[in-house]
Structures are given as C-alpha cells and as structure tokens.
C-alpha cells in the first residue's frame, strides 16, 4: 500500500494492532473482505519473512485484491504511538476503525500467591496501558475528521477476553489486564458517543492460536466435558467475523456493548 492517498480510492481505513498472527491476522482478512484498507501493527517486523508475520499477511491481502500497510511498533511504548498512527494517516488519509487486538499472556502460569510484580507490570503495560493511550491518541484524530460520505461509521473495538469476567487463578495478571481493558472500552464508549464514534468490546473465549497451544490438551479435555456449550474450540475467524460486523456498523446503536465469542461459555447452567 504505497500509492499516495490523493490518488487512491476512498476506502475506509482500519488500524489493527497485533496483526501479524492469530486473531489479529484473522481480523485483518475479515476487514479486507469487507472492503477496508488495513494498517497492521505488530512488534515483530520482518520484511524478508513471507511465511509468517506481517509480510505473510500482506501477501495474503494482496491475493484478496486488498490493501495492507505493515507497520512495526510496540504498543507498550507510548513514544511509538504517534509514529504508528502518522503512518496510517500519511498513506490512507484518515483512520475510520481502530481494533485494539495486541496482547500477551504470562510467560509462565503461576498461582496467584506466586505472581511476580515483573509479570504483572508486563501484562498491564501491554494489555491495558498501551491500548488505553493508543485509543486516546487515535480518538482525538478520529473526532477531528469529517464523517464519511458513504456512511461507514467511526468505531473503536477492544479485543479483551472472557478472562475479563471469569477467574483464572493461575494467571491473575492476565485476568486483571483484560478486566482493565474492558473498563477502558466502557469509558471510551461513554466519552465518545457524542462525537459519533462507536466503541465496542469483543470477548473471545477459548480460541485456537499460538497463545493457547501450550494448554491445548487441558482444554481439549474440558471442552469434551462440556465447558463450551457449542462443543469446540473457537477459531480466529470467529472473532474476525464479529469485528467485521461491528466495523460495518451492523450494531451502530449499541455503543458500549460487549460481544462474547466463546461458544456459549457465559451461559449460566446447572
């Protein structure tokens, strides 16, 4: 995506963090299929690597006939935020959708009585503090833009987790970081409603990604035992479809909503 903005078709633009793999990759592809130009941000930036990461995603988007701009950056580094968003605006002219997807799990699962301050600070920095301030920066830019003539609404989407509301005492810092991000979504929904920017939360459940590969056997057993009413692992594409619906504006009168993509794990059952 290197054509100057003034020469390009005025497609809506989405910025997706953590775009190089897993859920982020699926979100990018879902948005491209909806006609969005996508700016993908990831901490891993390897232009020579076409088999995985941002540049594999770029090749896949090209095959779909879409436009994708890879941008390297670490959302936990606030000093990176202007550069990342400037790159999006410089090429695409504006930002219509921000998807806060990037996040990390603990390097090691430990009981709550053994959680280290270092792990706590790492997760809060990447999963909560970084997205909060990236959203602040992007929202200021979005609020200053004129509404799109094609009716595509401005929106901000936070990818949290079922762990925002479900206890997991072997990774408390992850739960706390996602609960904080969930409240950030609520706060921004309240603050930005009058500015015409919808804000939504998507809560994935058990999604088959690199992040969950290490606990696959455990959750295979739990799913077989009925943990997930729909009886399977979620796929990154399941989350991508939910994000695409929100970005299209299908739920434009539902700002502040939390959409769970978990196969029914939130259902209270006897």
Q: Give tens-digit pLDDT for 57-90.
A: 999 999 999 999 999 999 999 999 999 999 999 9
Q: Each residue of 214-238: pLDDT tens digit?
A: 889 999 999 999 999 999 999 999 9
Question: For residue 81, what are the CA distances in angstroms to 97, 103, 185?
Answer: 16, 16, 19
Sequence-ordered list of residues with C-beta below 8 angstroms from that of 72, at least 6 positions apart, any chain:
41, 42, 43, 44, 45, 54
The whole-number pLDDT of residue 270 equals 85
Number of CB atoms found within 10 A of residue 3's CB: 10
The whole-number pLDDT of residue 7 equals 39
Tell me the two tokens of residue 243.
């994000």
Q: Each residue of 105-159: pLDDT tens digit?
A: 999 999 999 999 999 999 999 999 999 999 999 999 999 999 999 999 999 999 9
With a cut of 50, say whether residue 18 has pLDDT above it. yes
The whole-number pLDDT of residue 1 equals 52
pLDDT band at 10 (very low <50, low <70, confident <90, very high): confident
What is the C-alpha to C-alpha distance for residues 129 and 122, in angstroms, rounded to an integer? 10
The whole-number pLDDT of residue 214 equals 87
Which residue in the list 58, 154, 163, 174 is annotated as catalytic?
Answer: 174
The whole-number pLDDT of residue 108 equals 94
Predicted structure pTM score: 0.95
Is residue 2 in some structural domain? no
Is residue 28 in some structural domain? yes
With a cut of 80, say whether residue 9 has pLDDT above it. no
Is residue 68 in some structural domain? yes
DSSP string, the chain: --S-GGGS----EEEEESTTSHHHHHHHHHHHHTT-EEEEEES---TT--SSSHHHHHHHHHHTT--EEEEE--TT-GGGHHHHHHHHHHHHS---EEEE------SS---GGG--HHHHHHHHIIIIIHHHHHHHHHHHHHHHSPPPTT-PPEEEEEE--GGGTS--TTSHHHHHHHHHHHHHHHHHHHHHGGGTEEEEEEEE-SB-SGGGGGGHHHHHHHHHTTSSTT-S-B-HHHHHHHHHHHHHTTTTT-TT-EEEESSSTTS---
Contact between 99 and 14 under an 8 Å Cβ cutoff? The reply is yes
CATH number of the CATH domain containing 22 = 3.40.50.720
Provide the number of structural domains found in the chain: 1
With a cut of 90, say whether residue 49 has pLDDT above it. yes
Is residue 267 in some structural domain? no
Which residue in the list 76, 154, 161, 177 is annotated as catalytic?
Answer: 161
What is the C-alpha to C-alpha distance for residues 86 and 249, in angstroms, rounded to an integer? 25
- Residue-range definition of the domain harbouring residue 181: 8-261
Closest CA to 97 of 203, 197, 190: 197
Is residue 127 in some structural domain? yes
Tell me whether residue 149 is one of the annotated catalytic residues: no
Is residue 266 in some structural domain? no
Which residue in the list 163, 177, 178, 182 is annotated as catalytic?
Answer: 178
Tell me whether residue 116 is one of the annotated catalytic residues: no
Is residue 218 in some structural domain? yes
Q: Find the range with the poorest average confidence among 7-16, 29-38, 162-171, 249-258.
A: 7-16
pLDDT band at 177 (very low <50, low <70, confident <90, very high): very high
Tell me whether residue 185 is one of the annotated catalytic residues: no
Is residue 255 in some structural domain? yes
């Amino acid at each position: 995506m290197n054509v100057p903005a003034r020469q390009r078709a005025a497609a809506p633009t989405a910025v997706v963090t953590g775009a190089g793999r897993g859920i982020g990759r699926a979100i990018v592809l879902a948005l491209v299929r909806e006609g969005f130009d996508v700016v993908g941000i990831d901490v891993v930036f390897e232009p020579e690597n076409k088999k995985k990461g941002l540049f594999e995603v770029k090749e896949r988007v090209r095959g779909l006939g879409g436009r994708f701009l890879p941008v390297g950056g670490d959302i936990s580094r606030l000093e990176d935020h202007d550069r990342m968003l400037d790159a999006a605006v410089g090429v695409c002219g504006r930002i219509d959708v921000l998807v806060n997807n990037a996040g990390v799990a603990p390097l090691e699962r430990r009981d709550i009585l053994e959680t280290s301050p270092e792990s706590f600070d790492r997760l809060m920095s990447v999963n909560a503090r970084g997205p909060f301030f990236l959203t602040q920066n992007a929202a200021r830019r979005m609020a200053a833009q004129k509404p799109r003539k094609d009716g595509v609404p401005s929106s901000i989407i936070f990818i949290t987790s079922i762990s925002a509301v479900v206890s997991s005492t072997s990774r408390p810092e992850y739960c706390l970081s996602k609960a904080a991000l969930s409240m950030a979504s609520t706060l921004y929904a309240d603050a930005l409603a009058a500015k015409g920017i919808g804000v939504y939360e998507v809560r994935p459940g058990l999604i088959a990604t690199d992040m969950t590969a290490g606990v696959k056997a455990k959750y295979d057993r739990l799913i077989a035992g009925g943990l997930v009413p729909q009886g399977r692992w979620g796929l990154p594409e399941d989350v991508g479809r939910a994000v695409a619906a929100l970005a299209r504006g299908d739920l434009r009168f539902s700002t502040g909503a939390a959409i769970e993509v978990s196969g029914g794990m939130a259902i209270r059952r006897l």
